[in-house]
Structure 1
Amino acid sequence: MAEQGDAGSLCPMVETTGVCQILYTLYKHGEMLTSKLQRKLPISPETFYKARNILEEHGLIEVVPTASGKIKPYRLTEKGRKIAEQIQFLSTLTRKTD
């Protein structure tokens, strides 16, 4: 069970526009370049980068090392995958009650 401090830090992060969308998109599609990920989401570039930075700071996504080091694909960390699974689960619950 998560400690109260964990839940307290998670709630404001999830309220940030784009955070859940990025998590779910990476969960559904796997590793993606920043440009491709951004194109898949209906949010402004500013909102995208803010949400991406929050996810990185909380250890939910990470840059995938590449040989060139120039392109930066992102992927979920194990922690990010677990949260994305919970988002998907909550989404199914809300659809069942509509």
Structure 2
Amino acid sequence: MRSMGRESNAENVCPIVETTGVCHILHTLYKQGEMLTSKLQRKLPISPETFYKARNLLEENGLIEVAPTASGKIKPYRLTDKGRKVAEQIDLLSNLSDTKI
């Protein structure tokens, strides 16, 4: 039996993950670490508009954040602890889809 807390977390995360581009961003940051917006966007098979919508949604929901830098001029993004947990699940699911049955 699931606890109510787990169900409400799933209800909050599922609509976010269903947004186009979200899984791409999370999985790429999970596999490659923090990355500048321009580099991250170039790696993904989505339009710039879709990318920025997904990135903003992830940031607003605490799944990614701007990593502090010494200069403060460049702004790489990285996963938060919450984002890493979601990305780990996405990675597990992507590995399942690669498995031959």
| TM-score of the two chains, using structure 1 as the length reference | 0.91
- CA deviations on 1:47-92 (whole Å, 9 max, x unpaired) are 0000001111111111011233221100011111111111111122
Number of residue pairs matched by the alignment: 98
2:58 aligns with one of 49, 55, 60: 55
Q: Which residue of 1 aligns with 2:23?
A: 20
Q: CA RMSD in A?
A: 1.5
Question: What aligned pairs does 1:1-98 form with structure 2 within 5 A after superposition?
Answer: 2-96=5-99
Describe the superposition over 1:24-61 as per-residue Cα deviations: whole angstroms up to 9, x where unpaired.
00000001000000000011111000000111111111
Structure 1 CA distance, aligned partners of 2:86 and 2:77? 16
Q: TM-score, normalised by structure 2?
A: 0.88
Give, as a single letter, the amino acid of the residue that structure 1 aligns with 2:71: S
Note the C-alpha offset of 1:97: 5.9
Q: Percent identity?
A: 73
5+ long unaligned stretches in structure 1: none
Shift of 1:93: 2.3
2:31 counterpart letter in structure 1: K
Consecutive unaligned residues of structure 2, counting only runs of 5 or more, are: none
